[in-house]
Copies of this chain bind each other. A is one copy, B any other.
Amino acid sequence: MSSPVFDKVAIIGVGLLGSSIAHAVKAYGGAAEVTLWDVSEDVRERAGKVVPGKVCETALDAVSGADCVILCTPVGVLTEVTALIAEGLLPGAILTDVGSVKARAAEDMAAACPETVYLIPGHPIAGTEKSGPEAGFASLFQEAWHILTPTKADAAYLEAVGRLTAFWRGLGAKVETMDPLRHDRVLAITSHLPHLIAYNIVSTAYDMESVEEGEVVKYSAGGFRDFTRIAASDPTMWRDVFLTNKDAVLETLGRFSEDLAALQRAIRWGDGDTLMKEFSRARGIREAIIDAGLDTAEADFGRRHIDPKSEG
């Protein structure tokens, strides 16, 4: 374990990401002390039982004396949360976040962040479909990209970016910096649209489930099941993502719908060549992802790890 980058890291919002950061700091270092606070009394109580670090009763208690404050709330409340802790932030402290949208997140935090604090928005490309303080685990950030979207370029600010980079590298992440608008455009296709589509197909199926008398669930192993996993992600977090990355999501969704209309037309007119061409392209991008080490080639679709002894 290397020497701590920060004396005290304060985590505001103790869901999957907040609790994972606490576990990761305990496992890999990065801060001498960790404090946590969540707006929900119930979450604070549960966090006290399972998350390493000191759970505080108020947000100001948590950030008091912290040289790094990490906001792990839905992006829709970043301004509000920043305002809540602003007076307690140490001059020279770093304020960062883990939100999936960066342009609006930067603006929202900047609106309430004191000038004396280094505001460095961030986003770990890591997660599971689970939520809540019990969902966190130390290795979540291992091998995952962590994107920082710096807002300034002076020497003192860049030194702070260096410290935050060292912190995340210590937790196992691969850190990159990126323009926030570019981040939001890339994530719109790699993350936001996939989630929207997954939520939508599950919703469509939900309405058909009553018509088909339970058979949608029963025969879900044919592909549908995989969408329900993604669609089990936290609704509040995702609502805020779509509301705050509206432009990039609508632009990407427009392209998706155009492409889908072309496939629909090919099906209606029996145009097998077009279908074949489009379906074959998909294999190329899958291979690129496997080549980049971002997934395993191991077959997973059949979920053969389900215990055969559980046969009903």
Residues of A within 8 A of B (CB): 76, 100, 125-130, 135, 137, 139-140, 142-145, 147, 172, 174, 182, 185-187, 189-209, 212, 215-233, 235-236, 238-240, 242-243, 246, 249-250, 252-253, 255-257, 259-260, 263-264, 267-268, 270, 272, 275-276, 278-286, 288-289, 292-296, 299-306, 308, 310-312
Contact = CB atoms under 8 A, between A and B. Distances in A.
A303 B267 CA distance: 34
Contacts of A306: 143, 293-296
A293 B235 CA distance: 24
A286 B144 contact: no
Contacts of A143: 306, 308, 310-311
Contact of A125 (B221, B233, B255): B221
A299 B195 contact: no
Contacts of A207: 255, 259
Contacts of A174: 311-312
B219 A286 contact: no
SS of A interface (majority): helix
Contact of A235 (B100, B222, B238, B280): B280
Contact of A190 (B125, B205, B239, B260): B205
B308 A293 contact: no
A279 B246 contact: no
Contacts of A300: 128-129, 229
Contacts of A301: 127-129, 229-230, 233
A262 B218 CA distance: 27
Contacts of A209: 285
B230 A283 contact: no
B223 A130 contact: no
